[in-house]
Structure 1
Amino acid sequence: MSLIKWTEEDDGGIRLGLPSDLDLPMAQPLLDSLRAAVRASADVTVQAEGVERISAACIQALVVAARDAAGRGAAFAVATPSEILAEACEDLGLAAWLKQWSQA
């Protein structure tokens, strides 16, 4: 059972709800879910307000998904990123990336 909640929206988009704990073992399942969502829809939103802990590997998975979506011409957004996610991106020098892909 995946801790990542996959929801198909009425408009055909996909919303992925992230769990509160995105530690290192969650990086591969997260990347797999993100890649599947980008392949399945031209509109992917990651719901991130509940993230309380995140590894650099999981942030890397989000960056890869955003790049993949852009390469496919798909929309990708991180909806309401938590303060923890924002701080982790800031620490890694990725604040501008998060701002580019965020929906507040």
Structure 2
Amino acid sequence: MSLIKWSEEGGQVRLGLPGDLDLPMAQPLLDSLRHALSAGGDVAVLAEGVERVSTASVQALLVASRAAAEAGVRFVILRPSEVLVETCDDLGLASWLNRWSQS
């Protein structure tokens, strides 16, 4: 059972991320993102509740953003938490997050 919440509305898949995106959550996150992208519509990732995040989970988001760009699908990370913003900054990915996120 995944802790990632899934909903579809108006041609958009919305994924609600759990508070803890530690290493064991990276694969379920990647699987959920791939499934969302395969649905063919826009993908919105709700990230305001993320309190802990692993590098592998950030990599899953990065892979999804690239796959969305290649497929011509709109991908957005909505309201990234301060922890996610700081982690991306620490990894040198602040500009990537700025490109794909919305407040």
TM-score, normalized by length of structure 1?
A: 0.97
Question: What is the aligned partner in structure 2 of residue 70 from structure 1?
Answer: 69
Distance 1:38 1:45 in 2: 10
Question: What is the aligned partner in structure 1 of residue 8 from structure 2?
Answer: 8
Q: CA deviation at 1:12?
A: 1.1
Question: What is the aligned partner in structure 2 of residue 31 from structure 1?
Answer: 30
Q: Residue 60 of structure 2 aligns to which amino acid in structure 1?
A: A
Distance 2:38 2:61 in 1: 15
Instruction: Report if the CA contact (8 A) 1:77-1:101 is conserved.
Output: yes
- Sequence identity, in percent? 66
Q: Residue 96 of structure 1 aligns to which amino acid in structure 2?
A: S
| Secondary structure of 1:93's aligned partner | coil
| Secondary structure of 1:50's aligned partner | coil
Instruction: Report if the CA contact (8 A) 1:49-1:81 is conserved.
Output: yes
Instruction: Report if the CA contact (8 A) 1:52-1:84 is conserved.
Output: yes
Query: Deviation above 6 Å: which 4+ runs of structure 1?
Result: none
| Secondary structure of 1:49's aligned partner | coil
Question: What is the aligned partner in structure 1 of residue 83 from structure 2?
Answer: 84
Gaps of 5+ in 1: none
Count residues in correspondence. Answer: 103
Question: What is the aligned partner in structure 2 of residue 55 from structure 1?
Answer: 54
Instruction: Report if the CA contact (8 A) 1:14-1:41 is conserved.
Output: no
CA-based RMSD: 0.5
Instruction: Report if the CA contact (8 A) 1:42-1:73 is conserved.
Output: no
Gaps of 5+ in 2: none
Distance 2:17 2:40 in 1: 18
Question: What is the aligned partner in structure 1 of residue 17 from structure 2?
Answer: 18
